[in-house]
Amino acid sequence: MLRRTLLASAVAAMALTTGASAQSVDEAKQFVDQFASRQDTWTGPTTGPAAQPDKLVVMLASDLTNGGVLGAAEGSKEAAAAIGWDLRIIEGAGTISGRTAAFNQALALNPDGIIINGFNPTEQQVGLEAAQNANIPMVAWHATSDNGPAPDVGLFANITTNARDVSLAAAYWAFVDAEEQPKVVIFTDSTYQIAIDKADWMKEAIENLGGEVLEYVDTPIAETSTRMPQLTTSLLQRHGAKWTHSLAINDLYFDFMGPSLAAAGIPGDGGPIAVAAGDGSQAAYQRVRTQEYQAVTVAEPLNLQGWQMIDELNRAFAGEEWSGFNSPLHVVTPDNIEFDGGPNNTFDPDNGYRDAYKKIWGVAG
């Protein structure tokens, strides 16, 4: 039986630099361990502009059935209420055409700011250009692979954790858990650049350490409910017990694998073991806690990131630069799942971010 314990290792002589590639099992352990501890210290901004009044902000949400998109949306709603803005959310229903319609609706509202939540903005070139021509500031969540400004697509700031760190943490956990002999299937969606990048980083990490990628599966996130049951069965037929771990670019792929695995007689804590490189959804937390068809999620602080998007827009409205904040990630296992858990059963670090942002904005709370 493969191990389920929190990966613990002795402190190495030299710290492994964040984002660097591991060359050994000890380095892989060390990389994972740095993200498995409590995240209870605020490392974000402490200064910035006061709340800019009377703003209408429209969020374009790619698909609210995606736990990451939903979590970021909920955080933005909470923050908008605190700062005193009108936030309206329009969902794209998981399709490009749906997101195009949402963008058109948003522009018709003549908003002060736009939030792009969970999709590649380049697919909406017409809408992007219209927003830029109207001088409407835009921020985003997971629109690109990098944290910070993306002027080439008109974004004041894109909010994400370090996507490469997320990917490496997931791959390295699987490498160690498989006793240095992982044989993995990687799930991604080529509709999204960040998904391609994360899957490629996981593939590279596994192969560089001598593991094997059995298959690299490109299947749409929006169609996981219909595709994953039969796809799981087909993969089991092709690879059987050789398949040690599943690596996916987010948790949603694992929402629909369990019944097929159970039908094949595989227990919840059996292989293939599911490891998600983001986002730390409520459903994923429940699976990890009960050890039912998911062992790890590399979680992002979705609610905090929602607050950060509102803060970044406030900076844009005030004519200031983006904050430069890179939000923390958390490798969630059955051993540490109670660390930094929020009321919605997701990664919600106890680092005082709500009070920190309210203090910057000068609002009561």
β-bridge pairing 330-332 and 296-299: antiparallel
- Residue 344, pLDDT score: 61
**Pairing assessment for the beta strands 155-159 and 148-150 based on DSSP bridges:** antiparallel
- Write the class of the CATH domain 56-160+302-327: alpha beta
* Locus of tokens 């692979």: 145
Q: Where does 25-39+163-299 sit in CATH, by number?
A: 3.40.50.2300
Asked, colleague to colleague, whether 25-39+163-299 and 56-160+302-327 share their fold, the answer is: yes
For residue 322, give Cα distances in angstroms to 79, 86, 131: 17, 21, 19
Q: Which helix (H) or strand (E) holds 130?
A: helix 125-133
CA distances from 107 to 56, 77, 203, 309 (A): 12, 20, 39, 19
**CA-CA distance, 203 to 168, in Å (whole number)?**
9
Give the per-residue pLDDT at 313.
98
Its pTM stands at 0.83
| CA angle in degrees (0–180, nearest 5) for 157-158-161 | 125
**Lookup result for tokens 């593991």:** 211
pLDDT of residue 362: 96
Q: What is the DSSP string of 278-306?
A: S---HHHHHHHHHTSS--EEEE--HHHHH
Instruction: Report domain extents, the chain.
Output: 25-39+163-299, 56-160+302-327
Residue 268's closest CA among 253, 287, 286? Answer: 287
pLDDT in tens, the chain (365 residues): 333 333 333 323 333 445 556 778 888 999 999 999 888 899 999 999 999 999 999 999 998 888 889 999 999 999 999 999 999 999 998 889 999 999 999 999 999 999 999 988 888 999 999 999 999 999 999 898 889 999 999 999 999 989 999 999 999 999 999 988 999 999 999 988 889 999 999 999 999 999 999 999 999 988 999 999 999 999 999 999 999 999 999 999 999 999 999 999 999 999 999 999 988 888 999 999 999 999 999 999 999 999 999 999 999 999 999 999 999 899 999 988 887 675 567 889 989 999 999 999 999 76
Tell me the C-alpha distance between 89 and 72, whole Å. Answer: 11
What's the CA gap between 200 and 222, in Å, rounded? Answer: 20
CB neighbour list of residue 166: distance below 8 Å, 6 or more residues apart: 198, 277, 278, 298, 300, 329
**For the chain, how big is the Rg over CA atoms in Å?**
20
What is the structure's pLDDT at 5? 39
Strands in 138-141's sheet, in edge-to-edge order, are 86-91, 56-61, 113-117, 138-141, 155-159, 148-150
H/E run at residue 88: strand 86-91
- Establish whether the linkage from the previous residue to 272 is cis, with ω within 30° of 0: yes
CA–CA dist 116, 137 (Å, integer): 11
Q: Note the pLDDT of residue 191.
A: 86
Contacts of 77 (CB under 8 A, 6+ apart): 87, 89, 306
